[in-house]
Amino acid sequence: MLAVAVVPTYNEVDNLEQLVRAILDVDPSLGVLVVDDGSTDGTSALAHRLASEFENVDVIDRPTKSGLGSAYRDGFTKAIAGGADVCIQIDADLSHDPADLPALLSNISHGADLAIGSRYVPGGKTENWPWGRLWLSRWGNRYAAGVLGLAVNDATAGYRAYRTGALKWMDYETVNAEGYGFQIEMTHRMVRAGGKIVEFPIEFRDRRAGNSKLSRGIVREAFVLVWRLWLTDRTDRRRRRRLSG
C-alpha cells in the first residue's frame, strides 16, 4: 500500500525539516509531498534540499499563497498520478505527531475510506491552546455537525488519511473551500457519498515556531460554507422527492 503524506507549507522553514525526518523515521516507505505556496523564508529551498536527500520526498512549488484547499487538491492529484493508494493530510507546524501515522494507515487498511485523528473523541485532547482558540474550534465543530448532520466529532481536523479510490468517487477536485472549511466540505462530501469514516484519538499540540495561518476571513468562510452546504442538501432532497413522486 503506497501512502503519501501531503504537506502544505507557507513560511514553515523552522518546522519542515523536523517534520519530514520524523515522518520518515516512523515509516521510511512513506512518500512526502510538500506543496509550497510561495514561501518567502526559504521553505521551498529547504524542501528541495530534503527532496535531494530522500528519494521519496517531492515538492510542488506554487507561485503565490493560494489556499489550503487548493494545496491539498493539487497534492492529491499529483500523489494519485504517482500511484498512491492513500493520501495523508498532515500540518507542517508539528501540531500533528507523526507517531500517529501507523494508526491512520491501519484504519484505512481495515476498511475506512477516511480516517481522522480526532481531538474530540474520548482520549483525544488539545495541548497549549488559548481558551478562545479552543472554544472556537469546539463550537465550530458542534455547529458544523449539528447543521449538516455529520455525526463526526472533529469535522475540522487536519490530520487524516483518505483511500484514493474514495477521493475519486467523492470528486475531491470540485471541492470549493480554500481555508479550514476545506476539512468540513471534504467531511460532508464523504458522509453524503456513503463513505466509511473512522475517528481515533490524538493529542494535538500548538505550534512551537512560526505563525498561525488562521484569520477572520478563514473563520467567516467556514461559517458561510456550512449554510451553503445545508442549502445544497435541502435542494437535493427536494429534487429527489419530486423525481420519486
Residue 209: what pLDDT?
A: 57
**Cα(182)–Cα(197) distance, rounded to whole angstroms?**
16
**Cα(168)–Cα(165) distance, rounded to whole angstroms?**
5
Amino acid letter for position 223: F
Phi and psi angles of residue 3, each rounded to the nearest 5 degrees, phi first: -120, 140
**Cα(67)–Cα(4) distance, rounded to whole angstroms?**
20
What's the topology of domain 3-244? Spore Coat Polysaccharide Biosynthesis Protein SpsA; Chain A (3.90.550)
Q: At what angle do helices 131-148 and 181-192 cross, to 10 degrees?
A: 30
Domain ranges of the chain: 3-244
CB atoms closer than 10 angstroms to residue 202: 25
Give SS3 for 237.
helix
Residue 211: what pLDDT?
A: 57
CA-wise closest residue to 34 among 62, 56, 2, 6 = 6
pLDDT along the chain (245 residues), means of 10: 96 96 97 97 97 98 92 98 98 95 97 96 84 72 84 92 96 87 93 94 78 59 79 70 63
**Cα(124)–Cα(105) distance, rounded to whole angstroms?**
18
Residue 217: what pLDDT?
A: 64
Residue 226: what pLDDT?
A: 82
**Cα(37)–Cα(219) distance, rounded to whole angstroms?**
20
pTM of this structure: 0.87
Cell numbers found for residue 245: 413522486
Residue 125: what pLDDT?
A: 86
Cell numbers found for residue 128: 497549549
CA-wise closest residue to 203 among 122, 108, 142, 136 = 122
CA-wise closest residue to 72 among 190, 152, 158 = 158
